[in-house]
Amino acid sequence: MYIMIITAAVMMALLGLALGMIIGGVARLFRVETDPRIELVTELLPGANCGGCGKAGCSDFAKSVVSGENPPSRCPVSGAEQVAAIARALGIDAGQSFPMKAVVRCGGDTRQSTRLATYNGVIDCAAASLVAGGPKGCAYGCLGMGSCAHVCPFGAIEIVNNLAIIHAEICVGCGKCVTACPRGVIKLVPADATVHVYCNSPQKGVAKKQVCKVGCIGCRKCERALPDKFKVTGFLAEVNYSSAPTAEEAGAVGCPAGCLLEEQRHLEIETHDPDWSPDK
Amino acid sequence: MDYLELTIGAVLVNNIVLSKFLGICPFLGVSKRLATALGMSGAVVFVMTLASFITSLVTKYLLNIDLGALGIGEGTVKLDFLQVLLFILVIAALVQLIEIAMQKLSPALYQALGIYLPLITTNCAVLGSATMNFNAGRGVLASTLFGLFSGVGFALALLLFASLRERLELADTPAAFKGTPIALITAGILAMAFVGFSGLC
């Protein structure tokens, strides 16, 4: 009996010791060196794992920064200070950083635009646009079912009056909404631009007017007033973001259609001004 | 003939998941997508084979210690009561070792199996096949074969189930059955289907 207990105890102790030593030895023999800089950069990154840089997540991006594949400025979420901190830590050039933000180029909320039909399906823009092109009168405007708001990792998109509104102060420009939108209404623009054309339809002015009160009619008033800041292609005006107009300049143009707006004004109209109409 | 019975029996007739009901946790946990199920299956086949091999060696040499041969007494000491403890210890150490070595020697294989290996270190299916070998008194070769084909049986069940679940995602299930309930019912039906193999050997 005692022999059995002693044998069992000794055998287990020896086995445990042997296994421990083997594992220890093998761990030392097969040690994989991981670059400590990857850890460091991961800590300096925002950790949102938004994928805006094109990598699988922040630690994947950190790996590519350390290997020199990407400059730190490729992270759309990091501000200039964070990018500089990463560059300092690695002793490399920060690369030029252009902070971006997303803009929904549509002003056709429920008050301004018409509907083709009542849609009772899944509340999802991609699903809705599959059914005869979607319930909205305008085939190019925002469907307002919030597919972009769902994918936004930062909660920067709000749906007001069936129209997606991006809060510029929250948006970091990761571009997830751009790919989520089935109609391509959302575009990434430089973060310091404040004036946008809230229309995305290339249709003729008359056709647009039938379905939306605030569609761009292509009158070229903005282009004539400030030819280097606006460009009209067909019937759609676009802001030249490489020399973005200021809010005053845009106000002076006096867009008759009501689609050329300053960002804060657009937000105000949608959230606080139920009686606004472009005719006033 | 014995080996044929052993292998086909382990895969189909006495399927470790669907008739022995071992390893239900990964069977339900990682069967949502076929890709992850594949990774898990690979890891289970790998670990189960090695674990069966090593535990059969343990059974042979460590559970029956011949004191006379060691020169410290006489007679043999039977340590069968240590079976589960020893098996867990040895399997855990083995998986740990393989993981460390694999990370260095084959990063690609480590990427594919890596995250699943620690998950199944002392999975009940792995320990179960080792215990079944012990109870049946199998030798080293038979034990290893049984471990390998138990793993294949697990992989078969998991892959079948994962494919079914991928289809179920799209099926029009009543609201009360959505998700896990219908998965459990499906698993039950799958287990019943495997009863059909019971006359095979």
pLDDT digits (tens, 9 = 90+) for B37-68: 888 888 889 889 999 999 999 888 888 777 77
Query: What does the pLDDT average to over B125-144?
Result: 91
B148 or B34, higher pLDDT = B148
CB–CB of A15 and B77 under 8 A?
A: no
Mean pLDDT score across all residues of chain B: 86
> B114: pLDDT confidence band, cut at 50, 70 and 90?
low
Q: Residue A225 CB: number of other CB atoms within 10 A?
A: 16
**Spatial contact of B128 and B16, defined as CB atoms under 8 Å apart:** yes
3-class DSSP state for residue B187?
A: helix
Beta-bridge partner residues of A10? none
> B36: pLDDT confidence band, cut at 50, 70 and 90?
confident
> Pick from A265, A253, A186, A251: which is nearest to A219 by CA?
A253
- What confidence score (pLDDT) does residue A248 get? 85
Residue B135 CA to residue B87 CA, distance in Å, equals 13
For chain A, say whether B79 makes contact (Cβ under 8 Å).
yes
DSSP annotation of A190: E
Phi, psi dihedrals of residue A239, rounded to the nearest 5°: -80, 135
Residues 79-108 of A with CB under 8 A from B: none
- What confidence score (pLDDT) does residue B154 get? 94
Residue A263 CA to residue A266 CA, distance in Å, equals 5
Q: Which domains does chain A have, with CATH numbers?
A: 36-90 (1.10.15.40), 100-272 (3.30.70.20)
Residue B184 CA to residue A169 CA, distance in Å, equals 47
**Spatial contact of A13 and B85, defined as CB atoms under 8 Å apart:** no
- What confidence score (pLDDT) does residue A97 get? 61
| Helical residues (DSSP H) of chain A, grouped into ranges | 2-29, 36-44, 58-66, 80-90, 125-130, 147-151, 176-180, 205-211, 221-225, 247-253, 263-272
At B54, list the tokens. Answer: 């090593």
Residue burial A6-31, b: 16+ Cβ < 10 Å; e: rest: ebbeebbeebeeebeeebeebbeeee
pLDDT digits (tens, 9 = 90+) for B59-99: 888 887 777 777 777 777 888 888 888 899 988 898 888 88
Beta-bridge partner residues of A110? none
CB–CB of A23 and B85 under 8 A?
A: no
For chain B, say whether A12 makes contact (Cβ under 8 Å).
yes
Residue B190 CA to residue B181 CA, distance in Å, equals 14
CB–CB of B104 and A31 under 8 A?
A: yes
For chain B, say whether A27 makes contact (Cβ under 8 Å).
yes
Per-residue pLDDT of chain A (280 residues; tens, 9 = 90+): 788 888 888 888 999 999 999 999 988 888 877 778 888 888 888 887 777 787 777 888 888 888 877 778 778 788 778 888 888 888 776 666 677 889 999 998 888 888 888 888 888 898 888 888 888 989 899 999 989 998 888 889 999 888 999 998 888 888 889 989 999 999 998 888 889 999 999 988 888 889 998 999 888 888 888 888 888 888 899 988 888 888 888 888 888 888 888 888 888 888 887 777 776 5
> Pick from A197, A215, A198: which is nearest to A137 by CA?
A215
- Domain ranges (residues) in chain B: 2-195
Task: Please name the residue of chain A whose CA is at the shortest distance from the CA of residue B62.
Answer: A11
CB–CB of B65 and A11 under 8 A?
A: yes
At B159, list the tokens. Answer: 């892959």
> Pick from B116, B115, B175: which is nearest to B151 by CA?
B116
**Spatial contact of A144 and A129, defined as CB atoms under 8 Å apart:** no
For chain A, say whether B76 makes contact (Cβ under 8 Å).
no
With contacts defined as CB-CB under 8 Å, which chain A residues touch B78? Answer: 4
Confirm whether the ipTM is greater than 0.90: no
CB–CB of A26 and B100 under 8 A?
A: yes
Among A75-84, B26-35, B152-161, name the one with the lowest average pLDDT.
A75-84
- What confidence score (pLDDT) does residue A166 get? 92
